[in-house]
């Protein structure tokens, strides 16, 4: 790439890195993995920077790259969750933790138990604010698939969260 293109990429990266990292965190629930996913997406974007004609579609390209990277990571055997007899040390909750933090923690815990494809749809639909068509385009699937994955993901999230779903609704 020439100097002008490098500068354009650097400006885009500086403007969007935090938003992409937050999206990745909402998908995977771990800041370290979110950094890895965001880096993977930006590396893919950098490789194709010259070939991208529609600069208005950069956010969609990066978002799709993050989602794909997250789904690919969950397929790798060393990333799979292992069940153990004893639960590791449980974090103690502080009495002064705000209600917003508690709700966010409950939501992230619930999202972590939703299958990756459904989690991607839920994050894109409800946290990124995309509509059904936009989510379908980002994931390169049909709108019907988005609707069914949304319904299944919400059902799973409701079953995992139980009564906490009502607490989440009251704050929104």
Query: Binning pLDDT at 50, 70 and 90, where does residue 149 land?
Result: very high
Alpha-carbon gap, residue 13 to 7, rounded angstroms:
10
Alpha-carbon gap, residue 115 to 74, rounded angstroms:
9
pLDDT digits (tens, 9 = 90+) for 27-63: 988 899 999 999 999 999 999 998 888 888 899 999 9
Is the CB of residue 121 less than 8 Å from the CB of residue 106?
Answer: no
Mean pLDDT along residues 123-150: 92
Question: Residues with Cβ < 8 Å from 99, sequence gap 6 or more?
Answer: 171
152 backbone dihedrals φ, ψ, rounded to 5°: -65, -40
Residue 10 has pLDDT above 70, yes or no: yes
Mean pLDDT along residues 119-123: 92
Residue 96 has pLDDT above 50, yes or no: no
**Burial track 76-89 (b if 16+ CB lie within 10 A, e otherwise):** eeeeeeeeeeeeee
Alpha-carbon gap, residue 138 to 114, rounded angstroms:
19
Average model confidence (pLDDT) across the chain: 84
Alpha-carbon gap, residue 19 to 100, rounded angstroms:
20
Residue 172 has pLDDT above 50, yes or no: no
Mean pLDDT along residues 6-20: 94
Mean pLDDT along residues 71-96: 65
Cβ neighbours of 114 (radius 10 Å):
22
Is the CB of residue 165 less than 8 Å from the CB of residue 109?
Answer: no
What percent of the chain clears pLDDT 90, i.e. is strictly above it?
A: 49
Alpha-carbon gap, residue 108 to 110, rounded angstroms:
5
- H or E element that contains 126: none
Q: What is the pLDDT of residue 78?
A: 63
Query: Binning pLDDT at 50, 70 and 90, where does residue 170 land?
Result: very low
């Amino acid at each position: 790439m020439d100097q002008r293109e490098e500068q354009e990429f650097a400006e885009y990266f500086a403007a969007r890195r935090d938003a992409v990292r937050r999206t990745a965190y909402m998908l995977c629930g771990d800041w370290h993995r979110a950094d890895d996913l965001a880096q993977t997406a930006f590396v893919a974007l950098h490789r194709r920077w010259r070939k991208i004609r529609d600069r208005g579609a950069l956010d969609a390209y990066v978002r799709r790259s993050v989602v794909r990277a997250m789904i690919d990571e969950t397929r790798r055997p060393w990333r799979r969750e292992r069940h153990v007899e004893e639960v590791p040390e449980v974090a103690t909750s502080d009495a002064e933790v705000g209600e917003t933090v508690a709700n966010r923690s409950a939501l992230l815990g619930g999202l972590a138990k939703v299958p990756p494809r459904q989690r991607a749809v839920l994050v894109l639909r409800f946290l990124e604010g995309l509509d059904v068509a936009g989510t379908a385009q980002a994931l390169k699937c049909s709108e019907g698939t988005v609707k069914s994955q949304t319904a299944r993901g919400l059902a799973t999230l409701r079953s995992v969260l139980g009564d906490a779903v009502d607490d989440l609704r009251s704050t929104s």
